Structure 1
Amino acid sequence: MSFTSVRAGFNDLPGNVRGGMILMAAAGLFATMALLVKILGSHLHVTQILLIRQIVMAGIVAPQIIGGFPGVLRTNQPGLQIIRIILALGAMGFGFSAIIHMPLADATALGFAKSFFVTIFAIIILKETVGLRRWFAVALGFIGVAIMLRPGTDSFSIYGLMAVVGAGCAGLVMVIIRLMSRNDSPTTILSWQAIGVGLVVAIPAIYFWKWPTPFEWLLLAGMGLASYLGQMSNILAYKWGEASLLASLDYVRLLYA
């Protein structure tokens, strides 16, 4: 069986099936990224990790940017691109801080609040129809997040709250990606994010800079690669599938974690 026939068969699948398959691959990539962030965060500041992540991602897409310049950066939705950059900063800044300072399993579990937010935002922004089963999953997710956070008790953690805020930002990012992918290519969307976030975190990253060891450089490169592949997979998944349906599949990340 040739690659062409496999690709043709994949393209013939329903959009939700294609999106779900790609999203499960993205979940594994993001779980790998989270593990590397956890390891690196014991020595490096979160803004430095973010900056190097963006540099690696920008380096990967650089040939496409150079080859297609300036068209590859041209967008009909500059406002949405800027909003996505701001939300991506929140998602990664809060999310990475939670991963570094909390047990990885707890940070991952609270990160599932993203599925709750994606469903809500998909209803409000994308006008998607959500059936009873998806509402039931949303309700369970909300209850689970409340139990994990334990507000009003001695167990409450500010980093747990950061994880939920980061998940909210990430959830809105997923919905915005679905909007943007109707007109912009995955490379355009990813290039704006890689460059925009990198420019914003550059100053604090330089201030907190600690020179990584050779092994940490290797981990940073792996984190950047996993981030790029995960982001690209996410963009394709939400281009093909319904946001509210894909949100319910995100729980596969717990198995990877």
Structure 2
Amino acid sequence: MSPLRGIALKLTSVVLFVIMSAIVKFTSAEVPTGEAVFFRSFFALPVIVGWLLLRGDMKAGLYVASPMSHFLRGIVGSGAMAFNFAALGLLPLPEVTALGYAAPPLTVIFAAVLLGETVRLFRISAVLIGLLGVLVIMVPLLTVSEVSTAVLWGIGCVMSSAVLRALVQIHIRRMVQTEQTSAIVFYFSLTTTLLSLLTVPFGWVMPEPVTLMMLIAAGLIGGVAQICLTSAYKGAEAALLAPFDYASILFAILIGYLVFAEVPTVLMLVGSAIVVASGIAIILRERALGLKRFKARPGMTPQG
């Protein structure tokens, strides 16, 4: 596979994940967060299984060396997804996408604290600039005449999701030393499906037919997006593909405007540009340092 095909698959996954997020946002007024997580995870499973069967990789691809590591990845990742989905129901799609970019700077911090990784001035500066960009994005949300409780909850949810995603990135960095990427992808969907069922007592609903079809589509699209993402890393270096994650803000702004009539503020755009520049600087620096964190990326999703 050529690098250009890898880039094309990466961009396809980015677009599909944004579309999936838009569907979750569209259904959020009717469907509880836990139920949305269930549909996203459960209906991704047949897509992933079909992909493994086509590759003839079902047995080897699902081999597990450390079941507990998959379980922990599922717990933290499902929390990240739940917080992200909750935020989609409370904040505009571009803001949720942009604030989610806090995860890479936080990953650098956690790598230093949890893994003892040396972080020098360049990356410390990039992290601080990225977090400054996050604050800039928050300004329009927090400076309106009356800040609603929903907005505060939304900010709290998306930042909680970013923290958990950063922790997942650190955890998967360890997992890829012994676990297959396909196994990480499959067992994440399986674990998240099972964990989401624990929210049934908290008010699941029977969706209207159109909403039900949209939720099923969200799961199928999420599964295809995950396959595209995983396949992309087989054709190009992770450091080459990583910056394309930030293309999601362009599609989020477009879909937010066309579907939800969400007009981005100037400060949101400025803050997003700052965070993107910071993230790309971190990526380039880590590539120069030869860090292996990028090996974790095929097993990641924008939700965790």
Structure 1 and Structure 2 fold alike (TM over 0.5): yes
Provide closer, same or farther for how the CA distance between residues 22 and 175 of structure 1 changes in structure 2, counting only shifts above 3 A: farther
CA spacing shift, 1:118–1:236, aligned 2, 3 Å: farther
Give the aligned partner of residue 209 of structure 1: 204
What's the offset of the Cα at 1:136?
4.4
Secondary structure of 1:75's aligned partner = coil
Paired residue type of 2:163: G
Residue identity opposite 1:114 in structure 2 = A
Mapped to 2, the partners of 1:84 and 1:197 lie a distance apart of 9
Partner secondary structure for residue 65 of structure 2: coil
| CA shift for structure 1 position 60 | 2.0
Structure 1 unpaired stretches of 5+: 1-6
Amino acid at match of 1:89: S
Aligned pair in 2 of structure 1 residues 164, 207: CA closer, same or farther (>3 Å)? closer
Q: Check 1:248–1:202 CA distance in 2 against 1; reply closer, same or farther (3 A cut).
A: same
The Cα shift of 1:142 comes to 0.3
Cα deviations by residue, 1:33-80 (Å, 9 ceiling, x for unpaired)? 110110011111111111111110122234448x86665433123232
Query: What is the root-mean-square deviation of aligned Cα atoms in Å?
Result: 3.4
Q: 1:78 to 1:189 in 2, by over 3 A?
A: same
Gaps of 5+ in 2: 253-304
Identical pairs, percent: 25
Amino acid at match of 2:43: V
Aligned equivalents of 1:204, 1:164: Cα separation in 2:
22
2:42 pairs with 50, 55, 59, which one? 55
Is 1:84–2:73 an aligned residue pair?
A: yes
TM-score w.r.t. length of structure 2: 0.66
Q: Is the 8 A contact 1:51 1:201 kept in 2?
A: yes
Q: Report if aligned partners of 2:35, 2:204 keep a CA contact under 8 Å in 1.
A: yes
Sort the Cα spacing of 1:86 and 1:167 in 2 relative to 1 into closer, same or farther, 3 A.
same
Q: Give the Cα separation in 2 of the matches to 1:29 and 1:138.
A: 28
Q: Tell me the equivalent position of 2:94.
A: 105
CA-CA distance at 1:187 after TM superposition? 2.2
Displacement over 4 Å in runs of 4+: 20-23, 67-72, 126-131, 150-154, 233-240, 245-249
Superposition deviation, residue 146 in structure 1: 2.4
Shift of 1:163: 0.3
Counterpart for residue 247 of structure 2: 252
Q: Which amino acid aligns with 1:52?
A: F
Cα distance in 2 for partners of 1:194, 1:188 equals 10
Q: Tell me if structure 2 keeps the 8 A contact 1:53–1:221.
A: yes
Q: Structure 1 residues 21 and 129, CA, compared in 2 at 3 Å: closer, same or farther?
A: farther
Evaluate the alpha carbon distance shift between residue 247 and residue 69 of structure 1 in structure 2; reply closer, same or farther with a 3 A threshold: closer
TM-score with structure 1 setting the length: 0.77
- 236 and 138 in structure 1: CA distance in 2 versus 1, 3 angstrom threshold: farther
* Preserved contact between residue 49 and residue 58 of structure 2 (Cα < 8 Å): no
Residue 4 of structure 1 corresponds to none
- How is 1:34-183 mapped onto 2 (pairs within 5 angstroms)? 34-63=21-50, 64=52, 72-122=61-111, 125=115, 127=117, 132=122, 135-149=124-138, 155=147, 157-183=152-178
Q: Are positions 1:194 and 2:189 aligned together?
A: yes
Aligned match of 2:223: 228
Once residues 32 and 116 of structure 1 are traced to their aligned partners in structure 2, the CA distance between those partners, rounded to angstroms, is 25
The answer for the alignment partner of 2:238 in structure 1 is: 241
The one-letter code sitting in structure 1 at the alignment partner of 2:169 is M
* Counterpart-to-counterpart distance in 2, 1:68 and 1:111: 33
| 1:84 to partner: Cα distance | 1.0
